[in-house]
Amino acid sequence: MSSIRHPRRTSALGLFLLLLAGGALAHDGGHEPTAFGEPGVAGKAQRTITVTMSDAMRFAPAQFAVDVGQTVRLHVVNQGKLPHEFILGTRAEIDAHSAMMKMHPGMTHADASSVTVPAGKSADLLWKFSVPGQFLYACLVPGHFEAGMHGQVTVAKKAATP
């Protein structure tokens, strides 16, 4: 038995692990809790945040903060002439998802933590930010993330009122 690794097997294993990691991004419509929260329940949104996307490859706002446990309606508006995405995730998930999108650029999303928004349109995403931390939102249309189309959401415990 040889300890030399076969390059094709190593590549296949790497691809399998990447796809397995991408399962956390649930392109199949998964609605499970994640490392950055869980899908929100309609009618329970405590706040609405409007996020605009542009062909300058930017989100506005580029960052926002929410309280732990807060359900937010993210109203995502594409002001550009190109299709864009709004995908929530941890840095590791966004990186893995970005690599997957490069391999499959026509991939569409059907998960609770993302929306694809055609040019000139808008979409809503309901999300319960149940986990404290700093997370990303990004557009993973090939080339958009690399051009700077990403932002940060900070989820923290609610400040005590005096």
Query: Which residue's entry shows tokens 């928004």?
Result: 117
- Cα separation, 142 vs 106, in Å, equals 9
Whether 75 is covered by a domain: the verdict is: yes
Which CATH number is 126's domain given? 2.60.40.420
Whether 146 is covered by a domain: the verdict is: yes
Counted domains in the chain: 1
- CA nearest to 85, candidates 138, 40, 126: 138
3-state secondary structure 20-88: HHHHHHCCCCCCCCECCEEECCCCCCCEEEEEEEECCCEEECCEEEEECCEEEEEEEEECCCCCEEEEE
Whether 145 is covered by a domain: the verdict is: yes
Give me the domain span that covers residue 119.
32-156
Whether 23 is covered by a domain: the verdict is: no
Whether 149 is covered by a domain: the verdict is: yes
Whether 38 is covered by a domain: the verdict is: yes
Whether 162 is covered by a domain: the verdict is: no
- Cα separation, 110 vs 87, in Å, equals 11
Query: In this structure, what DSSP letter does residue 16 have?
Result: H
Whether 1 is covered by a domain: the verdict is: no
Beta carbons within 10 angstroms of residue 59's beta carbon: 22
Would you write out the chain's pLDDT as a tens digit for each of its 162 residues?
A: 444 544 444 443 343 334 334 443 334 344 578 898 999 998 999 999 999 999 999 999 999 999 999 999 999 999 999 999 999 999 999 988 777 777 776 666 668 899 999 999 999 999 999 999 999 999 999 899 999 999 999 999 875 545
